């Protein structure tokens, strides 16, 4: 499973990238706001750092403007993926840009039917938002599972990019279901390495090692 980092924080991306943990990056208008940076400048920096796909989102709502914004974003670097919302205009934009060879990530997906129609429109990635479904007492992981079955039934090449990932449990469940990609904030990626028994075991080893009076170096 591929790991994308869901942030526009260049330092956080660089830290994980050094460990080989970053297969790509996703951003959105809220993450750009959080970064306090200019969208073109920060996206260019991220693309120079990471060789995998970097999603940058359009903000227009009508397809002609979305297409123009998408082309401008795609010009930033060869690894840009243009992110469009799952609206009718977004799907039209997806179709046009995909035909031109520009990769498109269709975002804000909350149903299996939305994922199906995005695949028909030629999306490279579909981004179902797990956490936001959980927030309204629905099952985000069940949606990932449904999309996996539908895409496999018809061999759609669209990759399932699980988004709005809030916990380490979301990541392992997505891996079990067979999501192609998980995009998660840096803190969630770091949390994958944590286990209380690891901490307790290490504490015991350190205590016993001190009693040996030995040194390795």
Q: Determine the distance from the C-alpha atom of residue 84 to the mean position of all C-alpha atoms in its chain, rounded to a whole number.
A: 14
Are the C-beta atoms of residues 36 and 217 closer than 8 Å to each other?
Answer: no
Q: Which is nearer to ligand G3P, 63 or 105 (CB)?
A: 105
Q: One of 83, 92, 211, 215 is an active-site residue; which one?
A: 83
Q: Which is nearer to ligand G3P, 57 or 96 (CB)?
A: 57
Residue from 172, 116, 121 nearest 148 by CA: 116
Q: Which is nearer to ligand G3P, 30 or 204 (CB)?
A: 30
By CB under 6 A, name the one of 49, 72, 131, 190 that touches ligand G3P. 131
By CB under 6 A, name the one of 3, 5, 23, 26 that touches ligand G3P. 26
Residue from 42, 7, 36 nearest 163 by CA: 7
Beta bridge partners of 5: 25, 184
By CB under 6 A, name the one of 3, 110, 125, 129 that touches ligand G3P. 129
By CB under 6 A, name the one of 71, 132, 148, 190 that touches ligand G3P. 132
Neighbours of 123 (CB within 10 A): 31
Rounded CA separation 60/63 (Å): 8
Active site residue 34: no
Beta bridge partners of 162: 182
Residue 105 C-beta: closest distance to ligand G3P, Å: 10
Please identify, among the stretches 81-89, 90-98, 128-136, 141-149, the one whose residues bind ligand G3P according to the rule CB under 6 A: 128-136
Residue 108 C-beta: closest distance to ligand G3P, Å: 8
Q: Which is nearer to ligand G3P, 139 or 199 (CB)?
A: 139
Q: Which is nearer to ligand G3P, 126 or 163 (CB)?
A: 163
By CB under 6 A, name the one of 6, 9, 57, 69 that touches ligand G3P. 6
163 binds ligand G3P (CB under 6 A): yes
Rounded CA separation 176/16 (Å): 23
Are the C-beta atoms of residues 83 and 66 closer than 8 Å to each other?
Answer: no
Q: Which residues neighbour 1 within 8 Å (Cβ) at sequence distance 6 or greater?
A: 174, 175, 179, 180, 181, 182
Here the tokens at position 77 are 């670097």
- Interacting residues with ligand G3P (CB under 6 A): 6, 26, 28, 129, 131-132, 163-164, 166, 183
Catalytic residues: 83
């Amino acid at each position: 499973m591929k790991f994308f980092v869901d942030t526009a924080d260049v330092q956080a991306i660089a830290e994980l990238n050094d460990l080989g943990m970053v297969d790509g990056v996703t951003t959105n208008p809220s993450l750009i706001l959080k970064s306090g940076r200019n969208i073109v400048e920060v996206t260019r920096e991220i693309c120079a750092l990471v060789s995998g796909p970097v999603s940058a989102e359009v903000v227009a709502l009508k397809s002609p403007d979305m297409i123009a914004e998408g082309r401008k974003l795609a010009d930033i670097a060869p690894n840009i993926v243009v992110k469009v919302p799952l609206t009718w205009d977004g799907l039209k934009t997806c179709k046009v840009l995909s035909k031109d060879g520009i990769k498109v990530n269709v975002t804000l997906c909350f149903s299996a039917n939305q994922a199906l129609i995005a695949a028909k429109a030629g999306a490279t990635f579909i981004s179902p938002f797990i956490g936001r479904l959980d927030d309204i007492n629905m099952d985000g992981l069940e949606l990932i599972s449904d999309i996996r079955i539908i895409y496999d039934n018809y061999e759609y090449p669209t990759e399932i990019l699980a988004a709005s990932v809030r916990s380490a449990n979301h990541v392992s469940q997505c891996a079990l279901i067979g999501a192609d990609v998980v995009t998660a904030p840096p803190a969630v990626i770091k949390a994958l390495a944590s286990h209380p028994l690891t901490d307790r075991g290490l504490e015991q080893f350190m205590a016993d090692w001190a009693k040996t009076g030995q040194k390795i170096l």
